[in-house]
Amino acid sequence: MPIHRYLLSTAAAIALCLSMPALAQHPTSAPRNSAAQEQLSKPDMEFMKKAAIGGMAEVELGKLAQQNGQSQPVKDFGSRMVQDHGQANDQLKSIAQQKGVQLPQQLDGEHMQMRDRLAKLQGDQFDRAYMRMMTTDHDKDVKEFRKEAQTSKDPDLKRFARDTLNTIEQHDQLAHNVDRQLISTGSSRAPR
């Protein structure tokens, strides 16, 4: 083999070897997304999915409260659920997108049944059923968000849970107050 061919093939081999580390430093975005998803613990993934479904349910049920509710405090509570949970849902979607996590896009069976059951009610019956549901739901949400804020391994998810917990605690207190108001005013009476 002539010397110039030998030198040319050696130079090509050296150039190829030198370019390999540079290629390795530029992975495609697909492995980065799956790597980010793998970094989330199973409890963090479950929390994100439950929070997404719960948030969607709060917005849908809040809209129902604005339409089917009788008392102004119930309608106002529903309006606040639409606003606050809508914002929290957007924040969670942003975190999920950064982490390459696909969140549920619709309600699960349990929440669909809740919505369908409430959609059949009007006025006082709706008010009582909705507020009972909201007190139970927010009591549970406070515990779940508090746990996530304390135990999450992901700093973004931990911050989301901690920040959202404050709002959910306010909702929980407000839900109990409205529910007590309905009981004390004898919400079964016709409006004046």
How is the chain split into domains, by residue range? 1-28, 40-184
- Mean pLDDT taken over the chain: 83
How do residues 154-179 score in pLDDT, each as one tens digit? 999 999 999 999 999 999 999 999 99
Is residue 82 predicted with pLDDT exceeding 50? yes
Q: What pLDDT is stored for residue 186 in this prediction?
A: 65
Tokens 């969140």, located at residue:
103
Give SS3 for 69. strand
Q: Which amino acid is at 67?
A: Q
Q: How confident is the model at residue 40 (pLDDT cuts 50, 70, 90)?
A: confident
Of 76, 182, 73, nearest in space to 129 by CA: 182
CATH of 40-184, one of 3.40.190.80, 1.10.8.60, 1.10.630.10, 1.20.1260.10: 1.20.1260.10
Total-model pTM: 0.76
